[in-house]
Amino acid sequence: MSKLLSQFSIQIRLLLLPLPLIVSLLIILLILVRSLNGTIQFAEKEELGIQTLKPIYLTYREGLERLKIGEEKTNNLIPLIETAKKKIEESNLLAEDPKLLNAWKKYTTIQSFDPSTSIQFLNDTQELALKIGDFSNLILDPEVNSYYQMEIIFFRVPEILKNIATLKEIVRDEYTTANHKNNQYSSVNYTKALISINFIETTCKEIQKSYTKSIEDISPYEKELTEAKNIANTSCETYVKELKKTFIQSTTKPSSSENLFTTIHKGTLIAGTIQDSSIGILEKLVNDRIQLLSFQRNINILLALGSLIVSSFFVVFIFQSINKPLVMVLSKVNELSSGEADLTKTIPDFGKNEIGKIAGSINLFLSNLNQIMNQLKISVSNAEKSSFQLKNDAISVSDNASSLASISEESAASLEELTTSFEIMFEFISNETKNINKITEEMKTIEGSISNIESALLQLTNLSIASTNLANIGNTSVQNTDNAMSEIRSVTKEITGIVDLITEISERTNLLALNASIEAARAGDAGMGFAVVAEEISKLADKTQSSVKNIKRLIEKSNAVVNLGANHVHETVNALGEIVEQSNRMQSGVNHLKVEMTTQSKSLLNVTTELKGLQEMAETIEFSSREQKKASEDMVNTINTLSGNAQQLANNSEDLNQVSQKIGEIASSIATVTNSFRTH
């Protein structure tokens, strides 16, 4: 987008700036106008429906006359049907559903209506009127006044007319059938008449309520509504009273039906008056709404157009306030680019806005440029003088450069010989430095080996100490074992004494058992129990003696094993003693070797330190020799360069002479350019 806009000038872009706002305002205006137009079309459709309803309900009331005896002919009805049909077709309100209109057209071909056809015609006409009210938005009208008038037109008045038709049917039945011979109404017709009159009275009250609600709402036609309400109230009350007097209060029916039809037909006129009044008020309300909506639409359009005009005025004013300074700035920039600018004239002050800041920057540029031009004029004058002096200096420099070139060649030859000597000395020093580096590397290797040996000796010392400690622990443990064996032997001896004592006790017990057996035998039967006890004791003594023998045998065997173990333990104690002494001797030798290795390591460290110092000195000498060699080479190159530069200087001095002439010519040209600018 920015690339596209960059192709247009700032003036055009300024003009395009309010375009989105104007387009948005126009779109909003269009939406508002369309919304108002939709509401206006809604109301206009209502008005069209009202105009269409007038001939329909006029036809309805005329069709109601067909129920009168002797008025069955349709001569006066058909023209009204044709007029209403034409109006409906012109309104095009039933274009979406023409079935009912087509069905209603058939009544134009009927020359005379019987009662059933009349009732069907009235029903079709009322249904057609409701369709017109539906398709023309009258039934959907949201206004309070319009709603209650619509209710009177479409529902209340047709209800009265429907009951009037019922009353006419009752009269026809009473005077065209066998009932005409009776002086009173039949019970069925009397009940129907009572119900119809009650419906008419109730509907009249509902009409009064609708008028009252319309009057209670704010309406510009309050006077007309009040008048219509009073007329409807008076006429309805009179009509209902007359109907009650004719059908209910009278004990006999009239001899002729003419008076009854005349009385009943008054209701048709009253209902028609009420309906026409409501249609007139409804039409005025709809027309007022259309005019109000049209006025609001026109006012909105005028306000939108006025805002567009005011916006355009401000756009032009703002455009001029931006465009005029831009034109002045652009003309000043063009003047500067032409090379014949008047630096004494500045751009006017346009305030603290962006253009004012640009103008201030250009004025500051003009001021600086004015100073630069003045200084340039002075510098050009000085340059002309300097170019003449430069020409004289160039000749002097050329002579001095020739002398410098010859001296530089002699110095270069001497420095080349000195460089050769430095190269030979540098080779010897480099070789010695390499040998010292090799010795240093070998000493590092020996130092690493000694360090490894010291680490190994340290590990060996630790192992020797650990072995000695383990041997001491083992010696102590074995000695403890030997002591334990001695204690076992002494305990075994004590156990042997106890076993001997038990053996002696067992023998004595056996002897006592024998004596007890003898004494029991002497006692006879009385000693039988004691003899048994003596026998069991003898058996127990034998078992004890046998067990003691086994224990003694095990003790002797254990004693032999303990003696053998004591001998082995003693031998182990002697061996561990030798191991401990050997570990101590080994540890002493390792400590002595460790001391010798420490002394050798210190000596090697001193040698390494001396070698490092010698290596650093050799490297310093080598570096110095390299730097001296390089310096001599640089000096040779410098002398050669100096010689070449001296020769080049001699050549350039000639060019410098020509340049001085060119500078003079350029200074003259600059003077011509600067004089074209008018300065202070």
- Are 573 and 437 spatial neighbours (Cβ–Cβ below 8 Å)? no
What is the distance between the alpha carbons of residues 121 and 112, in angstroms, rounded to a whole number?
A: 12
- Residue 375: exposed, middle, or buried by beta-carbon count in 10 A (0-12, 13-18, 19+)? exposed
Specify the DSSP class assigned to residue 256: S
Sequence-distant (6+) residues with CB within 8 A of 643 are 404, 405, 408, 409, 412
Which residue type occupies 148?
Answer: Y
Residues 337-371: pLDDT tens digits? Answer: 666 666 677 778 767 777 777 777 877 777 777 77
Instruction: State how far the Cα of 517 lies from the Cα of 110, in Å rounded to an integer.
Output: 164
The type of residue at 71 is E
586 closest CA partner among 496, 446, 457: 457
- Reference 199, options 254, 257, 160; nearest CA is 160
User: Does pLDDT of 422 surpass 60?
Assistant: no
What would you report as the CA-atom Rg of the chain, rounded to the nearest whole angstrom? Answer: 74
Phi and psi angles of residue 661, each rounded to the nearest 5 degrees, phi first? -70, -40
How many residues in the chain?
680
**What's the mean pLDDT in 653-680?**
70
Lowest-confidence range among 107-116, 355-364, 666-675?
Answer: 666-675
| Per-residue pLDDT reduced to its tens digit, 55-81 | 999 999 999 999 888 888 988 999 999
Place of tokens 């090799």: 438
- pLDDT band for position 653 (cuts 50, 70, 90): low
pLDDT for 443: 67
Residue 412: which pLDDT band, with cuts at 50, 70 and 90? Answer: low
In this structure, what token pair is assigned to residue 205? 């009250």
Instruction: Report how far residue 618's alpha carbon sits from residue 436's, in angstroms, rounded to the nearest whole number.
Output: 8
The C-alpha atoms of residue 584 and residue 444 are separated, in whole angstroms, by 35
pLDDT in tens, 539-568: 877 777 787 778 778 777 877 876 777 677
- Burial class of residue 97 (count of CB atoms within 10 Å of its CB; 0-12, 13-18, 19+): exposed
Residue 520 clears pLDDT 80, i.e. is over it: no
In whole angstroms, give the CA distance from residue 127 to residue 112.
Answer: 22
pLDDT tens digits, 231-278: 999 999 999 999 999 888 887 888 888 888 999 999 999 999 999 999
Closest alpha carbon to 272 in 128, 78, 59, 48: 59
| 93 closest CA partner among 122, 133, 55 | 133
Burial class (CB in 10 A: 0-12, 13-18, 19+), 565: middle
pLDDT in tens, 580-639: 677 677 777 767 767 776 776 777 677 677 767 767 776 776 676 677 667 667 766 776
- Close Cβ partners of 37 (under 8 Å, ≥ 6 residues apart): 297
95-122: average pLDDT: 89
Q: Cα(271)–Cα(125) distance, rounded to whole angstroms? A: 16
68: phi then psi, degrees, rounded to nearest 5? -75, 140
Mean pLDDT across the chain: 79
Please, are residues 614 and 437 in contact by the beta-carbon 8 Å criterion?
Answer: no
Helix, coil or strand: residue 327:
helix
> Hey, what are 567's tokens?
């001998």
DSSP string computed for 491-538 = HHHHHHHHHHHHHHHHHHHHHHHHHHHHHHHHHGGGGHHHHHHHHHHH
Q: Taking a C-beta distance cutoff of 8 angstroms, is the pair 243, 167 a contact?
A: yes
**Coil, strand or helix at 73:** strand
Query: If we measure between CA atoms, which residue out of 52, 58, 110 comes closest to residue 86?
Result: 52
For 294-346, write each residue's pLDDT tens digit.
Answer: 898 889 888 888 888 887 787 777 777 777 777 777 776 777 666 666 667 77
**How many angstroms separate the CA atoms of 121 and 60, rounded?**
8
